């Protein structure tokens, strides 16, 4: 009788451990990349999501059809926005805006750096920056839910290679293919950024720039 009870207890303990193992499956952080073509430029977004689906870090890059790109970093602590840093991608990285927020969502540091001076942010500036942060995160979530994925890479002699080293053959429309071929005929390094979506592939950018040199990576972003 005692042996039978012990056997049952061992079996029950084993089942409990098995169930606990199934319920405690952990998920790794992931990095989503997406973007879209705006009326006056191109937007690229990278968002690092924690194992419990909270934002950790977001990078928003806006490249106007005319002018310098603007790069904005958003950092989060336990899913709450803690830092906004925005700068124009020119030789001096100016103007630059920095806003730090404490655990109560109140500014703990704020500054706008200009070429000739630094200045404080106004209340309207702070509200606008917070609103933009919410809007961009919502856009990232929507694009990810819609399976719209951003890829960056470069052109080799006979293929397109992503920043992850994968050979791809995007099905760009004829006019976009022609634009790439024209840039190739001009010579030099050709970098590409494009979207892959359920409705097809869309070219975003063609430039004599290696986008892979600064593209965020999961382990260091």
CATH code of 152's domain: 2.40.50
Distance (Å, whole) CA 70 – CA 66: 12
Count structural domains, the chain.
2
Q: Is 58 among the domain residues?
A: yes
Residue 95 domain boundaries: 28-146
pLDDT by residue, tens only, the chain of 221 residues:
545 544 554 454 444 445 445 544 568 999 999 999 999 999 999 999 999 999 999 999 999 999 999 999 999 999 999 999 999 999 899 999 999 999 999 999 999 999 999 999 999 999 999 999 999 999 999 999 999 999 999 999 879 999 999 999 999 999 999 999 999 999 899 999 999 999 999 999 999 999 999 999 999 99
Residues 129 and 183 in one domain: no
Secondary structure letter of residue 59 according to DSSP? E
Residues 120 and 48 in one domain: yes
Beta bridge partners of residue 68, listed in sequence order: none
Which among 46, 48, 40 has a CA at the least distance from the CA of 219?
Answer: 48
Residues 188 and 214 in one domain: yes
| Long-range contacts from 174-179, C-beta under 8 angstroms, 24+ separation | 176/202, 176/203, 179/203, 179/206
**Structure token digits, residue 63:** 């490249």
Say how many C-beta atoms besides its own lie within 10 A of residue 129's C-beta. 20
Q: What is the pLDDT of residue 8?
A: 54
Residues 133 and 200 in one domain: no
Q: What is the pLDDT of residue 10?
A: 47
- Coil vs helix vs strand at 105: coil
* Number of helices followed by number of strands (H, E) in the chain: 3, 13
Q: Is 19 among the domain residues?
A: no
Q: What is the pLDDT of residue 27?
A: 80
Q: Is 104 among the domain residues?
A: yes
Residues 131 and 167 in one domain: no
Residues 125 and 169 in one domain: no
Enumerate residues 6+ apart whose C-beta is below 8 A from 6.
Answer: none
Residues 48 and 92 in one domain: yes
Residues 138 and 172 in one domain: no
Q: How far is CA 206 from the centre of its chain?
A: 19
Q: Is 16 among the domain residues?
A: no
Distance (Å, whole) CA 161 – CA 167: 5
Q: Residue 49: phi, psi to the nearest 5?
A: -115, 135
Residues 158 and 187 in one domain: yes
């Amino acid at each position: 009788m005692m042996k039978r009870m012990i056997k049952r207890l061992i079996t029950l303990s084993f089942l409990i451990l098995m169930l606990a193992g199934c319920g405690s499956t952990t998920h790794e952080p992931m990095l989503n990349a997406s973007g879209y073509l705006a009326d006056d430029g191109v937007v690229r977004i990278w968002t690092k999501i924690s194992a419990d689906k909270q934002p950790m870090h977001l990078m928003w890059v806006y490249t106007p059809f005319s002018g310098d790109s603007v790069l904005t970093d958003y950092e989060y602590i336990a899913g709450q926005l803690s830092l906004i840093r925005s700068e124009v991608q020119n030789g001096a990285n100016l103007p630059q805006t920095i806003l730090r927020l404490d655990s109560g969502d109140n500014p703990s540091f704020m500054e706008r750096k200009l070429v000739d001076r630094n200045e404080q942010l106004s209340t309207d500036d702070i509200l606008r920056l917070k609103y933009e942060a919410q809007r961009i995160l919502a856009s990232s979530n929507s694009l990810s839910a819609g399976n719209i994925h951003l890829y960056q890479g470069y052109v080799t002699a006979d293929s397109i290679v992503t920043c992850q080293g994968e050979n791809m053959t995007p099905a760009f429309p004829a006019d976009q293919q022609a634009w790439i071929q024209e840039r190739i005929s001009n010579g030099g390094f050709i970098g590409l950024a494009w979207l892959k979506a359920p409705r097809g592939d869309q070219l975003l950018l063609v430039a004599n720039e290696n986008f892979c040199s600064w593209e965020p990576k999961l382990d260091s972003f």
